[in-house]
Structure 1
């Protein structure tokens, strides 16, 4: 490790940020640990442009940890709809309740205690401690891992424990000595990885800008910039088929709450059949009783069959998840009347109130596209 780089890294990075760092982001400069926490969770696996729109709206809806903790989970999921990775929203709600009950509504400043809260990992705990409490705590998100792997030519797949431990050690060694510098230093790390030391087009490979660490960066000196950090080879994502029932009775549609640990966990969606490996052939018009039995196994297919008379083949929707692809065949069912529901995970939702439900993005778009509800109803 270069002693000169280690000694001067934070100072040079902070100086870079003053010239070229991002500014004006709504979560920057905020020392409220609640606001910092929400922004950090929302920025995980979500583009900054999307968070710029959704973060202020979320904070207006839930301005304090107390408001978030006391909100109904459906309300939180509805506000989160479209941001993806819904476990983050469930963890936000659970964490807010944990802060209220275990810490009297105050986020702890110790990153070790922060890491014990629901949904907060070591890097997020470090970011909250650094931004809100000026603690000398390192972060190690994907951007920082890339910066450090290149600067110090750290070889090996970053998911490996030995490599990850090495990166954490480097992140800790590079911290500024003055606690007051922690907020700007932490922000500078994030900005440098997001805008300069990027994955595919780092500035050092162009003639437009000069990297402040060009002379010290071992990856640059050995022509390994695009080779580090080393990445695992991803297997081809499996593809699945399922049928979904779009059951409409008057001005209401039938929604089903998904299991909390399933994909789209805790959201309200359309009743669906179990996923099966994608097939090249699909039935044109399956038997309604079979569909009801497969999608709603706890209901009485015979009773439903007397009420639901019309089945039309709707669109087939492809949705890409992180590690899989799903093809959803929609079947539109008209009902003469609404059956009473005993299952609390089933609900007749008035079209005018769909905005109150957390809906998966493709289902939300489907309902808008079919004109089953006005766009405003699903956005509120």
Structure 2
């Protein structure tokens, strides 16, 4: 690796940021480690435009780590609804409790200690340490991996341990020597990967802008910019079918809390059947109400429910695309003569007007919010 590039990289990048970097984002320039942590977790797998809207709202509802730790998990999931990857919200809640219990409500400045907290990986720990405490700590998210892989023509799939280790070494070697430069350098690195050294349209293949590293970048000099970094080929996303039960009792709907380690873990959703591989395009209809209740409400007295539930009707089929799979949800609509009691605490009747208090999967939320209020007299007490 060129000693000249080691000595000049951070200076050039900081200079670039002063002219072309992003500014005015609500989390920028904030040295509160709690605020930095929330923004970093939220930005991990969510587009900046979405975070711009949701981050201020989340911070208003949970302004401190103490408030977040004391909140009920349903409150946190409800505020996170629509952002996806709900394990991040669950980890936020656990991590906040850790900070309160193990560090008296103050985030540690040491990235090694930060990395021991729930949901904080090495790169996120580095970002918190750099932004909030000006520690000389490296980051290596997907954008930064792309910059370094191109700049130094690092071959091999970035998922490979040897390649990843080399990229981490580069990230460490290129840090600015002065700790006071860490916040702007770290932000510049993120911005450069997000806006200039992008995956499909980096500025170096256009003519409108000139990359400050055009003469240093090995990928540019060897015409491999779009070929690096190398990625392993992804297998086709598996596809699944499931049945979902939409039961209404007047203005109440029946919700079921999902297992914490499942997809949409910890959220409230419609009772559903186990997922089955989608081998045929045509969805097979449920074989009667009793069979449907048996596979969605496993622990309940099905015979008793049959007396209250009526009017089984096939509703819409909803397609939802996850990052690594696709799901077709067949909705089955039912009405209930009353809000029958259940032995399972994970089953709950929720008023349509109170849905906003619950964390719901986005497709289910859209479906339920589109329901019309029941007319007076539709529910027997």
What is the TM-score when the length of structure 2 is the normalising length?
Answer: 0.97
TM-superposed deviation, 1:338: 1.8
- 1:107 is matched with 107
- 1:43 is matched with 43
Say whether residues 1:153 and 2:153 are aligned partners: yes
Give, in whole Å, the separation in 2 of the partners of 1:245 and 1:139.
45
Gaps of 5+ in 2: 375-381
- 2:61 is matched with 61
- 2:295 is matched with 294
Say whether residues 1:260 and 2:260 are aligned partners: yes
Detail structure 1 runs of 4+ shifted over 6 Å in the superposition. none
Give, in whole Å, the separation in 2 of the partners of 1:233 and 1:282.
30
Give, in whole Å, the separation in 2 of the partners of 1:18 and 1:168.
25
Contact 2:241/2:283, CA 8 A, preserved across alignment: no
Contact 2:286/2:292, CA 8 A, preserved across alignment: no
Give secondary structure in 2 for the equivalent of 1:208. coil
What RMSD over aligned residues (CA atoms) do the two structures have, in Å?
A: 0.9
- 1:365 is matched with 366
Give secondary structure in 2 for the equivalent of 1:371. coil
Give secondary structure in 2 for the equivalent of 1:26. coil
The correspondence of residues 301-320 of structure 1 with structure 2, limited to 5 A, is: 301-320=302-321
TM-superposed deviation, 1:312: 1.1
Gaps of 5+ in 1: 374-380
TM-superposed deviation, 1:282: 2.8
TM-superposed deviation, 1:339: 1.3
| Distance change in 2, residues 1:372/1:222 (3 Å) | farther
Deviations 1:267-295 (A, max 9, x none): 00000000001133334463111000000
Deviations 1:318-364 (A, max 9, x none): 00011100000000101111211121111011111111000000000
Deviations 1:355-378 (A, max 9, x none): 1000000000111233359xxxxx
TM-superposed deviation, 1:241: 0.3
Give, in whole Å, the separation in 1 of the partners of 2:233 and 2:285.
38
- 2:22 is matched with 22
The count of residues paired between Structure 1 and Structure 2 equals 373
Give, in whole Å, the separation in 2 of the partners of 1:270 and 1:210.
52
Give, in whole Å, the separation in 1 of the partners of 2:172 and 2:323.
31
Contact 2:138/2:172, CA 8 A, preserved across alignment: yes
Give secondary structure in 2 for the equivalent of 1:323. coil
Give, in whole Å, the separation in 1 of the partners of 2:295 and 2:43.
38
What is the TM-score when the length of structure 1 is the normalising length?
Answer: 0.97
Give, in whole Å, the separation in 2 of the partners of 1:6 and 1:282.
59
Give, in whole Å, the separation in 2 of the partners of 1:336 and 1:330.
20
- 2:170 is matched with 170
